Structure 1
Amino acid sequence: MQHIPYGRQDITQADVDAVLTVLQSDFLTQGPKVPAFEHAVASYCGTKHALAVNSATSALHIACLALDLGPGDWLWTSPITFVATANCALYCGAKVDFVDIDFRTYNLCPQALERKLEQAEREGKLPKVVVPIHLCGQPCDMKAIHSLAVRYGFKIIEDASHAIGGRYKGKPIGNCEYSDITVFSFHPVKIITTAEGGMALTNSAELASKMSLFRSHGITRDPAQMTHKTDGPWYYQQIELGYNYRMTELQGALGVSQMERLDAYVTRRHQLARRYDELLAKLPVTTPWQHPDSYSGLHLYPIRLQLDKITKGHRQVFESLREQGIGVNLHYIPVHSQPFYQRMGFKSADFPQAQAYYREAISLPMFATLTDVQQDAVIRILAEVLE
């Protein structure tokens, strides 16, 4: 029986050769390849600054630190995300709250955000940072969220871990037109990979400088940032408490190579999504709705089961698909329903749209090297299971 995973990296001989060249070079950690990767991503997105790190979680953390998030502050995000999006606030000693999702896009709902902001203003609990997640690669309504940021004074970090290669209102996701910082992920199942890795992008030289410090122990070799004249060419100063979040040269080389195929990957994902849309049209499932302002990176293709039209339950369908070699997944378990967050006082019923999504969602296989034959097998087996 074949196994079709929900996601899979595509490593070509060009990628292998790029990494091998680094292995045979003088630099394995801090050399020319990481800056080359940063330049490639910044150029692609039309952003002034890009800082590569060892994971998107690290990118979220240094983004929060650069925005001075700390004790007494609030970060708001969507409950439908991986836990790292919320955890980054707790790393900084801040508090977390959530905003329910839009029932069509599954992204943070701007109307729900506005209602929550109005109440928070009355209570004196406005957020310092809001983190919209571009779930599955589809961008949030960033213009609406940005207008609320202007009105209520919060900063914006776009969690675009799923979304490199996508576009919003015709412009590349990551250009930071409507945000302070954008974060990408290069985990193996993402659109392009550096094995592990992430990146933070910004148009602010000040934020870029802060994030550069935080990713490397808070250390600088820039005389302009030092407290006194340098002692010599060997000299550095630690001026902040930072972390070892650097990306390796091996990862940077892989990223540069993968970037050359980014558009081709996203184009193929759109072809697959159109086939899914057509082939699933007569089945009792809801296919992903795409906002006309968006061109999704299509990291994921989640369907929602129309449970009132089938005899099996959500878990039965999920397990039946896996038993037959279809490596489906569920993105995500609502963060506020995790035991760690429930101990903070959150209840599962707090965000009803997120809970409704969780009860029905299944992510079908979606990756650039998925063949039409494999996709046909996914559809056939899903149809049999739903019968």
Structure 2
Amino acid sequence: MIPYGRQDISQADIDAVVETLQSDFLTQGPAVERFEKALTDYCGAAFGVAANSATSALHIACLALGLGPGDLLWTSPITFVASANCGLYCGADVDFVDIDPETFNLSPVALERKLEAAHAAGRLPKVIVPVHMTGQSCDMAAIAALARRYGVRVIEDASHAIGGRYRDAPIGNCAFSDITVFSFHPVKIVTTAEGGAAMTNDPALAERMRLFRSHGVTRDERLMTRPADGPWYYQQIELGYNYRMTDLQAALGVSQMNRVDDYVARRHAIADRYDALLSGLPVKPPLRRTDGRSALHLYVIRLAAETLAAPGHRAVFEGLRARGVGVNLHYIPVHTQPYYEARGFAPGDFPEAEAYYAAAISLPMFPTLGEADQVRVVDALKEALAV
């Protein structure tokens, strides 16, 4: 079975982890700081706060921005559930903004309409979480302009997008947001096995995210309510969490960051080949915007209307898997999940997201995918399409 995604682990990665295993620190040591520096050096943000997952990073980002009960977070319905759940973890309410059908990203046009209505109703969101779906940046300049107009904070969910660029600058530099979050899950662009990070240019936000990452505990006397009793002293000044990244994960991440540009270049070569192989088939390849460079975490095709009628979306998907191609579907619209339906959402609320879901299939995309396997993928697709 050709998987839809796969990590690439080199001998240098293995050596880096082994070196850390043989060091004095397996966690809370210097490798985490080295990884955070690798991220800030690459992205151009002032601060990086590593965490044990992107979900944790989203949570501490929301907490740092003061999201809480009575507040509202908006995000895209086409994302993994974590992009919405992070608001619920803080006691806030969650709503969604429909997608642009060409890019699969949160639509600035839909966002503007919804913000106008929310302003009139006196119920604006406190935080917007645009998701860089498949690794392609949202139109962050437009989103940031709207956020400034209405006094809304912005967290970029760039879980798919490290190595991507927007307006000739690295995604993660936070030029158009308060905080940007990355994921380092094994199928992402670079991996720490499990892990995430939150990038920001605001020192106060970085300080708060570090506090929430580790139990709300500090050894920094500047933050304490009274003088320290001695060099052993610490204080808990917030209700925090154990969201720390280990040094083993960070060591892997430092090594992987040495290849991030190579990984993205390889993904673009694979995407270019897919574009050529799929020419003439009743599918629509993903749009790549001209104002940026996608990290191409995913290569998502959409089936044409005639294919959806027959043989049908499910039949094509199952036909590919039956032929040894491990396709996937990213994502089921969050508002149609039973948990969110119980909170008042219903099918039909976000029609563009639902139309996307009815036609989308993620083809295998990872840097070690060979040309012969790409041909096999497309041949299997032709058979499943019965063309």
Shift of residue 84, structure 1, vs aligned partner: 0.5
Q: Which runs of 5+ in 2 are unaligned?
A: none
Are 1:90 and 2:95 counterparts?
no
Render the CA deviation track for 1:192-251: whole Å, top value 9, x for unaligned.
000000000000000000000000000011111111111111111100000000000000
The Cα shift of 1:281 comes to 1.3
- Decide which moves more: 78-87 or 374-383: 374-383
- Per the alignment, residue 126 of structure 1 pairs with 124
Matches of 1:28 and 1:291 in 2, distance apart? Answer: 42
Partner residue, 2:260: 262
- Aligned partner of 1:370 in structure 2 is 369
Secondary structure, counterpart of 2:348 in structure 1:
helix
Q: Cα deviation per residue 1:271-295 (whole Å; 9 max; x = unaligned)? A: 0011111110110001000111120
Give the structure 2 partner of residue 37 of structure 1: 35
Structure-1 separation of matches of 2:138 and 2:221: 41
Tell me the distance in 1 between the aligned counterparts of 2:22 and 2:160.
32
Structure 1 segments of 4 or more deviating over 4 A? none
Preserved contact between residue 286 and residue 306 of structure 1 (Cα < 8 Å): yes
Instruction: Give the alignment's Cα RMSD to 1 decimal.
Output: 0.7
Write the distance in 2 (CA, Å) between the matches of 1:309 and 1:104: 19
1:309 Cα deviation (Å)?
4.3
Partner secondary structure for residue 73 of structure 2: strand
CA contact (8 A) 1:307 1:314 kept: no
Say how many residue pairs are matched.
385
Given that 2:307 and 2:385 are in contact with CA atoms closer than 8 Å, whether structure 1 keeps it comes out as no
Gaps of 5+ in 1: none
CA contact (8 A) 2:105 2:132 kept: yes
Is residue 73–residue 94 contact of structure 1 (8 Å, CA) maintained in 2? yes
Contact 2:128 2:154 in 1 (8 A): yes
The corresponding residue for 1:106 is 104
Aligned to 1:382: 381
Distance 2:284 2:346 in 1: 27
Contact preservation (8 Å) 2:307, 2:313: no
**8 Å Cα contact 1:217-1:244 kept in structure 2:** yes
Q: Cα offset for 1:76?
A: 0.2
SS in structure 2 at match of 1:350: coil
Aligned to 1:54: 52
> Does the 8 A contact of 2:162 with 2:172 survive in 1?
yes
Taking the aligned partners of 2:279 and 2:181, their CA distance within structure 1 comes to: 34
How do residues 128-143 of structure 1 correspond to structure 2 at under 5 angstroms?
A: 128-143=126-141
Match of 1:352 in 2: 351
Q: Distance in 1 between matches of 2:307 and 2:87?
A: 41
Match for 2:287: what amino acid? W
Output the amino acid matched with 2:132: H
- For 1:171-202, what per-residue CA distance to the aligned partner results, in whole angstroms no more than 9, with x for missing partners? 00000000000000000000000000000000
Q: Is the 8 A contact 1:138 1:163 kept in 2?
A: yes
Mapped pair 1:181 → 2:167: no
How much has 1:307 moved relative to structure 2?
Answer: 3.2
Aligned 8 A contact 2:136 2:164 in 1: yes
How far apart are the structure 1 equivalents of 2:354 and 2:292? 25
Q: Which amino acid aligns with 1:312?
A: P
Amino acid at match of 1:343: A
After TM superposition, list the pairs within 5 Å mapping 1:1-387 onto structure 2. Answer: 3-309=1-307, 311-387=310-386
Give the Cα–Cα distance (whole angstroms) in 2 for the partners of residues 26 and 200 of structure 1: 26
Determine helix, strand or coil for the equivalent of 1:326.
coil
Q: Distance in 2 between matches of 1:41 and 1:260?
A: 11
Please, what TM-score do these two structures have when normalized by structure 2? Answer: 0.99
CA apart distance, 1:367: 0.3
Counterpart-to-counterpart distance in 1, 2:305 and 2:122: 41
